[in-house]
Structure 1
Amino acid sequence: MIRFQTICAGALVAWLAALPARGLHAQTQVPEANASGQAERKGSEPGKPHKASHLRLVDVTLNQAPVGEWTLLDHEGELYATPEILQQWRISLPAGAASIEFRDASWWPLFALPGYRARFDFSTQALQLEFAPEAFTTTQMKTNAAKPLALSIVSPSVFVNYDLAHTVSRGTGVTTPHSTGVLTEIGLATGMGTLISSQVGRNLGSTDPNLPSEWRRLETTWTKDFHGQNMTLRLGDTSTRASLWGRNMFFGGVQLGTNFGLTPGFLSQPLPTLAGSASSPGTLELYVNNALRQISNVPAGPFTVENFTQITGAGEARVVVRDLLGRETVIVSPFFTSSQLLEQGLRDWSVNVGKERFNLGTLSADYRDAFASGLYRQGLTKTLTLEGRAEWSKPLQTAGVGINTQLPFQALGQAALATSRDASDLRGSKLLLGLDHQDLNNGVNLRLVKASRDYRELGFSPTERAYKEEQAVNLRHTFDDKASVGLSLARLLSHDQGLSKVITTSYAMRVAERGTLIFSGTRVSGNQSGYTVGVSLLLPLDKQRVVTASLSKTRQGWEGYTAATEPIGNETGVGWRVLGGHRVSEDYAEGGVYYQSGRGFLGADLATSGQTHTLRLNAQGAAVFMDGRFFTARRLQNSFALVHVPGYPNVGVGFQGETLTHTDKDGFAMLPRLSAYQTNTIRLNANDLPMSAELDSIEATAVPAWRSGVAVKFPVRSGQGALVKVVTPDGSPVPAGTRVELVGDGKEFFVARRGEVFLTGLQQRNTIALKWEGYDCKAQVDLPGAVDAEIIRLGPVTCRETTP
């Protein structure tokens, strides 16, 4: 025994002698990096491992964060790792360092990494590693690119929106005139697109001979969205898109172009990128203009923040990085972005072919010269967007270019140049220069437009001319969210009518807790001159009520009014308004009451002024034919859904936390106001469902196309619910936990205490099968003819053994 202990002691001494000198201590500090950021390497030549090289399985803590157990190479007292390990640690391969080969693998020295420090505890085989932030790969915090959602199947539907107004006026000694006006919109929605046609009727049934009745068509357009490609095709009446130097124009024809709104969350503008680094894992807080926007976890190393929510203008972003020990690192960076800029490489375009349209709303079909036009915009860089636009018709051709660019002082610079030529070969030109800076407290907008006498654009009337010069200056400043001041100057110089100027100034200040007091003044000079000075008070109250008061002075005299309003709350209900005031030489008063339900809107307004009294009645709503049924609903200005809850009438249906309508006697409800191409979560009011109702979920989602309908059916298990007591032939209750099956339904239930089981989906006559401990039996359960109680109690029913 003594000889064996002596042999073991000798072996232990020999093993300790073979260890490197630094390994003799229970805890060892590996040499730190030298002045250049890398530790000096000792030992054999590069690429040749020392004969004492061996692998170590160690528990690693990396920059104060545990990363688990890893196998590292111990070579001449220095630690090495494979590229796969470094990749898992998010560490880049050390530049300029040489690897060594060991057991058919390449090993890279950790001491060659910036900021290398190591502490190894032999007793626990724990290794604490620290590296400088630049040793790690960059972490990019950005939002994944928005992708189009899978659309719900469009249910073919026909709908009619109506806005009906009837007006009755009465004056002393004057015949009482009355008239009716109506605005209608007829829509056909299918999987191939949506056809919309709108009309207006004026003075229908009018008793005033000076106001003849008329009916006019407004627009008729078929729209097809290609949401996977962010493109929209329109056939019929529509308008061209405006550019820097050109306005939009109504026309009838064909339009094809990009439509980024088809992909929810798609950001067409470039967003700022913030960069920083963290010495250890921690939390990151992002503040934009002193408002907390997001909180994220960040690992050690450099990082970039690119997942800003959509913002515009200039401001200051502040990133606060807090490590595990509570130490903070603050990074402050100014930023600028604008919706007028496109993301680098992004293209935005539109092509139009058709005929110019004039007198929309006055004439049903005043189409004139055939034309073609196109607009193309592209983000060359994150700070530079170019655009070009061309228009062609036989009597007029126009072309121009424009530029939007970020300027060094957090401002957007704009410039455009256009030229035109008409049928008489008269040529004109137009120049635009603009500057815009908007931040949290300040705003500056400058704009200068010059055009020659012969400059023309499509959509100009034969006698219309562009202004010779337009100048606009808009300034604002906010004082710590308590007050703001604004100044606007506009100068318009025409070729024939001289110069006009408008100066407007305002000062707004907070009063009380939520009120706002506004002082304003306007001065107009030129062909027409005048002034207005005034003061207004806006005072919000509880229940969304608002009180307003205004007093102003013009050349004609003093005017003023006081008003109070309460809007319709929670989408449905009653709202009202009252107003009383004085203008010129008479007093006047107005009042109105409004009601909105899931089926429409009703309103009544009464106005009295001097000897004249006017009553206006208004009704708005929609009629829909869908899925073989007719429905009435509120105006369908967006997409909509036909919700079906079979067998459950008067169940509240809505979304976004609001109940908008209720199911009818057949369990159907027409739900308006769905957002196209977005996920809409439709929810039933659980309080309106009986306890026996069986639904997989009271929520369903729909992604409708633009102004189209989708069918949403909530799977409901039909039948009645009842609490049934089941006994054996000797009168004893069946054991708790017994499995019960409703024959012909497949639904399983379990017996509770006293032999009671709650069954759902019961019809007038039912058979249930029970099974426990090898015993099989069946029982007949019949429902009574009429029961007022919501939960029926039945039994006891006898379960008789079945023969195999």
Structure 2
Amino acid sequence: MRNLSAGTVFASILLSVSVLRAQEVPNPPAAAVTADQPAGTRDVNLEVFINNVSTKMIGNFKQRSNGSLVATAGELREVGIKPPAHVDDATLVELGTLPGLSYQVDDPTQRLYVQAGDKQRAPHVISVRQQEEGKVPEPQSGYGAVLNYSLYASSNSLFKNSSDIFQGISGSFDARIFSPYGTLSQSFIAGYSNGSLDGVTRLNTTWSYSDPKNLLTYRAGDLTTGGLSWTRPVYFGGIQFQRNFSLRSDLVTEPLPAFAGTAAVPSTLEIYAQNVRTYSGDVPAGPFEVNNLPVFSGGGQATVVLRDSLGRETTQTLPFYSSNLLLRRGLLDFSAELGVPRRNFGTESNDYDNRIMGVATARYGLTDWLTLEGHFEGGVDLLNGGVGAAFPLGGWGVASVAGAASKSSDRSGSLANASLELSYDRWALYARVQRAFDDYDDIASVSAKPTTSTAGGLAILSAGVPRAIDQVTLSVPTPLDLSSLNLSYTRLESADGTKSKIASLSYNQTFKHTTFYATAFTDLEERGNFGVFAGLSIPFGSNITANTGVQSGPDGLGLVADVSKSMQQENGSFGWRLRTSEGQNTNREAALSYRAPFGQIEAGVQQQDRDARAMLRLDGAIAAAGGGVFATNRIDDAFAIVDVGAPDVEVQQQNRPVGKTSQSGRILVPNLNSYEPNTVSIDPKNLPVDADVPATKEIVVPADRSGVVVKFGVAEAPQAALVTIVDKNGAFLPAGLSGRLQGASEDFVIGYDGQAYIRGLHARNSIEVSFEDGTKCHGDFPYKPQRGEQVVIDNVRCF
């Protein structure tokens, strides 16, 4: 058995190997001598048998004048023979020089019989998850713009006599312009109260462009720097050059399990991961390897079942562990930024540090069992750099270690970090330890402005690197099914010496359709900070759920109860919520929400103690694309303008209804995923019977937060008919033949009973049908449209 690695498990499945004798063959095969090879050398094509079992492959060999056979290393590997190590595929290899291998040639049957052990045989490789670039659809992007908005308005107290019941309105906005050349986005927040505008705060202004072929994303403007688990990303104003694996939805970056074994006879192989069958297929006799096996993230077990033609089974269960801390061998992940740090994001529009800084982060899969990490950041008065590594712990988990050092002006320091992930059966453990020594600095600590209180001038915000971080999370199995018990502990010592130790315990248990949950936490440094909550969650169907519980904390004991109906994604759905919290602080609220084609509306009333307020919220978007302007629900990612060509047609996304087309025959579908295949379909049941529907389903892959136009091309007056075509004897023409209407650019196909659906008809029409033997026949028929009915034309003779 080969060594196990995280995400890659090698298992030997040993079966008894039948030893079959090679047949004695008297003569070498006959073959022609080619002009470009030495005299006496012949090209021969032989069916290859290994240990008297056919590989079902024919190999191309060269036979020399002394009767010996040679072939390229690549050809030998293709037919199941292992060539010498470190030999190029084009190198010629003489079969007689391979140790532990013997062969005979049968001239009359043109067969090559090879006797070889498993070490002399090239394994049959099965790649379960193909990563072929040609199968990835090309992303699409049009031209257009989107404005997302979220508006919130509230009233003054409803119990006080006030002439001005309106308190104010606030809103957050996200605008973007997209094109094939990238996306320019701008977000900001604004407010209005007391009859005046409270001001506008700019958030992000960013241009981005992605290259799916090379998996790269470029950004300019406001951005977040890349980082690792032991670094602190910061807001930047500048440029970024970054690897982006999410541009390929089919790409798996983690090492995937691979199983190796040997079959004595042709067999069937099945592999189960967490009791789910992930692969089933045939394997020939001899060694085999199964690569790129999709598994679940985290720890688990894989069961390998090998079944021969007699039904005999060999089963082996093996642990595996898949983690995003590891990269597959040869993969490089990186991010590089240059710019100035941004401060007070969300409260200040243009607060930038005036010092230019640079950041570079990289991860590289040196092997499937070792991922290297590196990080550098610095600029004026700062140099910071570190390295790390992540590696598997057999099939049980993953560990990582890292170290870094910094120098800032006359300050210097270092940092050490280590983490551990373990999983066995239903046990799971995560632990992390980090220590900062001396005066360790990074960009976040040297560029931040400390906030001070008005009393005493003491800093109340520490932007420095924490002196110590200790984290432990343990998931413990319980005797009951559908239950979980989790314990966690976090110790944090900030740069200014403030300490906290938070311990928590949570438990979940599901009984049929009811879930019981309980959580308790406390700060061991300040025992006054504690909380306990326990409750029940009960679903009632129709998306209605009831929750009730009891909570205890520094404010005393409280009871909580709420009943809610969740709103669905399709237009016209609604939801509601009733909630009460009884205790020292009383809080009651009621809300009603509705999803309209133009956005989502929520209205509610909230009572806190003896005060009550009303609120109203509207979330939506305005999009301009495909030659139209649409008011719709929020568009956080990509969207599609679906042009059906007919009104009141139901449109579905991923087989889920999203609405019906308007009078213009179009609808905007807002919830598409960028760089992933999205299925958009229509339900033609509301179309007229004479409508022409070329397709009912399309698959689109939109680019980054862009819009695409999907045209189904439905025509309500298609000038088409269902035509029955017969030969000169009156017999139906065979199904599968193709024909063409005179003057048309596309063929039609004849189905059963000689029927063909033909478009583009005129008052008089001529057709030509091609037979399998190359002959053709011709026919003529008249056509008269019948509004609202499917035109049927019978007995068109083709001579």
Q: Same fold by TM (over 0.5)?
A: yes
Within 5 A, what are the aligned runs for 1:188-203?
188-202=177-191
Conservation of the 8 A alpha-carbon contact between 2:219 and 2:241: yes
Conservation of the 8 A alpha-carbon contact between 2:339 and 2:358: yes
Q: Does 1:385 align with 2:375?
A: no
C-alpha change, 1:560 and 1:443, in structure 2 (3 Å) is: same
Within 5 A, what are the aligned runs for 1:372-771?
372-408=358-394, 410-423=396-409, 425-439=410-424, 441-452=426-437, 454-460=439-445, 461-463=448-450, 464=462, 465-479=464-478, 481-494=481-494, 496-511=496-511, 513-526=512-525, 529-569=528-568, 571-646=570-645, 648-717=646-715, 719=717, 767-769=763-765
The separation in 2 between residues aligned to 1:775 and 1:89, in whole angstroms, is 51
The separation in 1 between residues aligned to 2:502 and 2:705, in whole angstroms, is 42
C-alpha change, 1:569 and 1:780, in structure 2 (3 Å) is: closer
Which amino acid in the other structure matches residue 469 of structure 2? E
C-alpha change, 1:415 and 1:267, in structure 2 (3 Å) is: same
**3-state SS of 1:265 partner:** coil
Deviations 1:693-733 (A, max 9, x none): 2232222232221111222222345626688999xxxxxxx
C-alpha change, 1:284 and 1:547, in structure 2 (3 Å) is: farther
Give 1:478 deviation, angstroms. 2.7
**3-state SS of 1:354 partner:** strand
C-alpha change, 1:742 and 1:736, in structure 2 (3 Å) is: farther
Q: Which runs of 5+ in 1 are unaligned?
A: 1-34, 48-54, 73-79, 96-105, 727-734, 800-804
Deviations 1:357-388 (A, max 9, x none): 01111111111133111112212221222212
The separation in 2 between residues aligned to 1:167 and 1:391, in whole angstroms, is 45
Conservation of the 8 A alpha-carbon contact between 1:446 and 1:472: yes
Query: Comparing 358-367 with 300-309, which one deviates more in the overlay?
Result: 300-309
Aligned residues: 714
Conservation of the 8 A alpha-carbon contact between 2:544 and 2:563: yes
Which amino acid in the other structure matches residue 768 of structure 1? R
The separation in 1 between residues aligned to 2:507 and 2:341, in whole angstroms, is 43
Give 1:195 deviation, angstroms. 0.5
Conservation of the 8 A alpha-carbon contact between 1:284 and 1:320: yes
The separation in 1 between residues aligned to 2:402 and 2:413, in whole angstroms, is 14
**3-state SS of 2:233 partner:** coil
Conservation of the 8 A alpha-carbon contact between 2:48 and 2:114: no
The separation in 2 between residues aligned to 1:720 and 1:43, in whole angstroms, is 70
**3-state SS of 2:310 partner:** coil
The separation in 1 between residues aligned to 2:118 and 2:581, in whole angstroms, is 71
Query: Comparing 575-584 with 547-556, which one deviates more in the overlay?
Result: 575-584
**3-state SS of 1:694 partner:** coil
Give 1:193 deviation, angstroms. 0.4
**3-state SS of 2:542 partner:** helix
Identical-pair percentage: 26
Which amino acid in the other structure matches residue 300 of structure 1? A
The separation in 2 between residues aligned to 1:279 and 1:392, in whole angstroms, is 61
Partner residue, 2:8: none
Which amino acid in the other structure matches residue 613 of structure 1? A
**3-state SS of 1:636 partner:** coil
C-alpha change, 1:668 and 1:87, in structure 2 (3 Å) is: same
Conservation of the 8 A alpha-carbon contact between 2:226 and 2:360: no
Which amino acid in the other structure matches residue 137 of structure 1? A
Q: Does 1:157 align with 2:144?
A: yes
Conservation of the 8 A alpha-carbon contact between 2:22 and 2:113: no
**3-state SS of 2:477 partner:** strand
Give 1:147 deviation, angstroms. 2.3
Partner residue, 2:39: none
Match of 2:160 among 173, 198, 217: 173
Deviations 1:318-342 (A, max 9, x none): 1011112111111222222310111
C-alpha change, 1:629 and 1:276, in structure 2 (3 Å) is: same
Which amino acid in the other structure matches residue 181 of structure 2? M
Match of 2:320 among 335, 339, 343: 335
Query: Comparing 696-705 with 774-783, which one deviates more in the overlay?
Result: 774-783
**3-state SS of 1:502 partner:** strand
Q: Does 1:205 align with 2:181?
A: no
The separation in 2 between residues aligned to 1:298 and 1:741, in whole angstroms, is 46
Match of 2:244 among 255, 259, 262: 259
Deviations 1:227-272 (A, max 9, x none): 1111110000010112232111001110001111111211222122
The separation in 2 between residues aligned to 1:496 and 1:61, in whole angstroms, is 73
The separation in 1 between residues aligned to 2:111 and 2:79, in whole angstroms, is 20
Give 1:225 deviation, angstroms. 0.6
C-alpha change, 1:263 and 1:426, in structure 2 (3 Å) is: same
C-alpha change, 1:94 and 1:475, in structure 2 (3 Å) is: closer
Conservation of the 8 A alpha-carbon contact between 1:419 and 1:455: yes
C-alpha change, 1:628 and 1:782, in structure 2 (3 Å) is: closer
Give 1:455 deviation, angstroms. 2.0
Larger radius of gyration: 1
Conservation of the 8 A alpha-carbon contact between 1:520 and 1:534: yes
Give 1:503 deviation, angstroms. 0.9
Give 1:129 deviation, angstroms. 11
C-alpha change, 1:520 and 1:108, in structure 2 (3 Å) is: same
Deviations 1:656-708 (A, max 9, x none): 10122333323222222222222223212122322212232222232221111
Partner residue, 1:182: 171
Q: Does 1:219 align with 2:204?
A: yes
Partner residue, 1:305: 290
Conservation of the 8 A alpha-carbon contact between 1:682 and 1:700: yes
Give 1:215 deviation, angstroms. 1.5
Q: Which runs of 5+ in 2 are unaligned?
A: 1-16, 30-43, 62-67, 85-93, 451-461, 725-729, 769-775
Which amino acid in the other structure matches residue 185 of structure 1? D
Conservation of the 8 A alpha-carbon contact between 2:690 and 2:790: no
Which amino acid in the other structure matches residue 585 of structure 1? Q
Within 5 A, what are the aligned runs for 1:140-151?
140-142=125-127, 143-147=129-133, 149-151=136-138
Deviations 1:517-569 (A, max 9, x none): 12221111325732212212222343333222221111321122122222223
Give 1:570 deviation, angstroms. 5.2
Which amino acid in the other structure matches residue 205 of structure 1? S
**3-state SS of 1:526 partner:** coil
C-alpha change, 1:724 and 1:677, in structure 2 (3 Å) is: closer
The separation in 2 between residues aligned to 1:290 and 1:757, in whole angstroms, is 48
